[in-house]
Structure 1
């Protein structure tokens, strides 16, 4: 039985074992998937022990995503853009491959929820690691413009420069476009029950307001977007499932069922 894991610190809250066990069942395969609490200063050693013990692939969460990226021999474009990886795979030759599947998870979930990204004007709130991880897949999805609004303009400008695309533009609140079809909150504000700095005008023509944070109830950002005109409001639970599905496919070559998994997790959240 092939071994997989998720590394993090803390890690007890991770839903990854549940998700990947359900994926494996939907694909008719058996695997072992565990949580590994790695010491903050001991991720590399823990990772090596995992692979030496027969590990094939793993997910990586905070605070190890940047270190996972730096340890890899190969990185995909999204990982290169983010300078962080959430998925690792070691092949038979010992080469360590790093991927960032957050962006493809976001794009897949947005599409599943009805967003039309091709030729869309998109506003991305925040310029941290979560934002960096989704820029490349959004560009590949064909967005017309990707404006980045962040409290510190210089951080958004770094992403603009690193993207290598004239479709990515760091902006201020004074230079917002007249309309955005999709508004994405990549900040962690909702975790504290607060709002990112966002003018109400961006929701006037918004088809989908997307918060990468998720919980048992709609987030503050989702409620705010609804109040000010966004047609639909979506949280990030589907993104969690879809980024995990992308990792599962990288490891196994199989496309797992995701809808039932998301539904199960939503019900689980209601009772937890």
Structure 2
């Protein structure tokens, strides 16, 4: 969905987390426009949310397709709003992974990553994650075209994407160990400023996982910042909570200023 304003700030691409609909980011997008962003684009990855499969589609949908194709297509659509205008981006979890894989990092002035990490099971603080994904999730993904809601991962995603995700999580270096993903070499070319935001009550994007993922961007200017529930008034944040509207006046303003004006977000804990 495209949100347009009359400000002279940058265009902003918002890339979502896995199994998270673009609607979660609508309030944040409106806040960006109010703060002066020229336009903000949210979108759903293929075969999810408002981007359903075309009628009669039979091909396999790969988890990597979201980064290699959908991210790039969304960026091109946003750039077409005001050609030549500066572009910045923010990605949550998978939305942060997509930047390096896409090969389009040079088209952004800066990029924020919220809860983006190397998701190897050994880095997680969720001790039930391996069993839930491999003993329950993978079999379910073979029975159903899309993951059922009772699986508890969020909105339905293609079963093939879920299996790719589970496989990456079993790899010590996550998708960097996938021999069918040579695009990981593109991370060397990421040279823009990156703001990495971690949440202290997030059992998936732990300090270990975030530090490891940021190290995969050796030529980027990385600034890492940590936010606690106390910063948001005491409410739990977790892996996916940052963009919920209850944090509009507490957690969002520093990130919005960083995206729209390049203003430093402040000291880390």
Say which structure, 1 or 2, has more relative contact order (CA 8 Å, 6+ apart): 2
Q: Same fold (TM over 0.5)?
A: no
**What TM-score do you get using the length of structure 1 for normalisation?**
0.35
- State which structure, 1 or 2, has the greater radius of gyration over its C-alpha atoms: 1
Return the structure number with greater strand share: 1
**What TM-score do you get using the length of structure 2 for normalisation?**
0.36
